Amino acid sequence: MTTNKTKQQTLRQNILGSRRFSNFLWASIVSMGGVGFLLAGLSSYLKTNLLIVSDTSELQFIPQGVALTFYGVAGLLLASYLWLLLVWNVGGGYNEFSKETGKITISRQGYPGKNRQVEVQIPIDEVQSIRAEIREGLTPKRSLYLRSKKRRDVPLTRVGEPIALSTLENQGAELARFLEVPLEGL
């Protein structure tokens, strides 16, 4: 999450969506694996070697070639989904806190369709506090939430890999100072 102060009256935080290096890496690995399995299955069916690294033309098509072809198709379908997530940048967006308009706008990209852009607007005077949630362990979670009087807590940080504790503290403190509300959970 990057923070940009355009004016003293507006604070904007950009949120990284699915376009992360780790997602590019996984999409590439799954694509290569899917193509490899599919070519191995097709090699056993056609009885000609389509792979550079090994010769799978000697495998029997039933049952081994069928299984390899199935895994290849499943891998390519999963890879297609991962690449589409990267293209659509699902989860990316911004948080904008404007004292000029008296509103907080939280905007995120969704899946394509009728409501691709998910946008929530909250009046600044409804904000009670900024809450930090820190959970360590096997699946660590470090998030900031906007605690409102009339709504549930609204998440402000990205989903996925946890952000550094010092970054979370700095962002939470900066936001609480800007909105003039307390910071809870630290």
Domain with CATH 2.30.29 in the chain: 2-17+90-184
Q: What is the pLDDT of residue 57?
A: 87
**pLDDT category of residue 3 using cuts at 50, 70 and 90:** low
Structure tokens at 186: 């630290």
Report pTM.
0.80
CATH code linked to domain 2-17+90-184: 2.30.29
Close Cβ partners of 55 (under 8 Å, ≥ 6 residues apart): 43, 49
